[in-house]
């Protein structure tokens, strides 16, 4: 009887051990498909209301050239996102605040914006960098950069406040509110 109880106990312990080792099911690819992992991309690298982010890939048989390509591509994407966001802010701001000078003010906003973006794109920081080597022996560099919204908006606001033509029609609170609304629209893109 004692042997039977011991055997049942050992069997129960072994059964429990095997059940605990059971792996969680993994997603299965469709036939003929292979999942591709793109480093430095995905939800963790989307723009937010605090940062505008950009990411890209560079590939070359030379690792240094791979990094340069990736850097240029990532900066280009970051600049494009900044320009698109600021252009949308200016368009929306102009529509919400009816200005007396209309088109002239819009051109001045755009010129100031370009100047500020060109000066402040250097304020970016690297948030992800991965280098891989392909089967063919090429290097792939994955990069993600971000720039703080404060690094963009504060110099722009200073410029707007100094410009006499714009200053007459400029409303700081309305501009900031419009900027924040546009950033919310840009999230997850």
Predicted pLDDT of residue 128? 97
Task: Please give the angle made by the CA atoms of 119, 122 and 126, to the nearest 5 degrees.
Answer: 155
- pLDDT at position 66: 97
pLDDT tens for each residue of 27-85: 566 888 888 889 999 999 998 888 889 999 999 999 999 999 999 999 999 888 887 77
* CB contact at 8 A, 139 and 130: no
Q: Where are the alpha helices (DSSP H) in 97-171?
A: 103-120, 149-162, 164-167
pLDDT in tens, 146-188: 998 887 777 777 776 776 655 545 566 676 777 777 777 766 5
- pLDDT at 86 exceeding the cut of 90: no
Q: Which two tokens stand for residue 51?
A: 């940062």
CA pair distance 98, 4, nearest whole angstrom: 90
Most confident of 16-30, 61-75, 110-124: 61-75
Please report, to the nearest 10 degrees, the dihedral formed by the alpha carbons of residues 51, 57, 60, 65 taken in order: -10
Distance CA 72, CA 74 (A): 5
Q: What is the mean pLDDT of residues 128-139?
A: 96
pTM greater than 0.85: no
Tell me the CA end-to-end span of the chain in Å, nearest whole number: 68
> pLDDT band at residue 113, thresholds of 50, 70 and 90?
low
Q: Which residues is 141 bridged to in the sheet?
A: 58, 131
Q: What is the pLDDT of residue 6?
A: 44
C-beta atoms surrounding 74 within 10 Å: 26
């Amino acid at each position: 009887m004692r042997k039977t109880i011991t055997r049942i106990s050992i069997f129960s312990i072994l059964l429990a051990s095997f059940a605990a080792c059971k792996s969680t099911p993994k997603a299965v690819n469709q036939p003929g498909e292979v999942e591709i992992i793109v480093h430095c991309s995905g939800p963790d690298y989307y723009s937010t209301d605090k940062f505008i982010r950009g990411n890209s890939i560079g590939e070359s048989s030379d690792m240094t050239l791979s990094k340069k390509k990736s850097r240029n591509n990532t900066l280009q994407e970051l600049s494009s996102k900044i320009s698109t966001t600021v252009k949308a802010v200016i368009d929306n701001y102009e529509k919400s605040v009816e200005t007396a000078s209309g088109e002239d003010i819009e051109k001045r906003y755009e010129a100031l914006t370009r100047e500020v973006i060109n000066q402040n794109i250097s304020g970016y920081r690297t948030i992800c960098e991965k280098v891989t080597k392909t089967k063919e022996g090429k290097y792939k560099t994955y990069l993600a950069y971000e720039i703080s919204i404060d690094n963009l908006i504060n110099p722009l606001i200073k410029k707007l406040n100094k410009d006499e033509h714009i200053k007459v029609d400029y409303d700081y609170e309305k501009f900031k509110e419009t900027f924040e609304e546009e950033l919310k629209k840009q999230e997850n893109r």
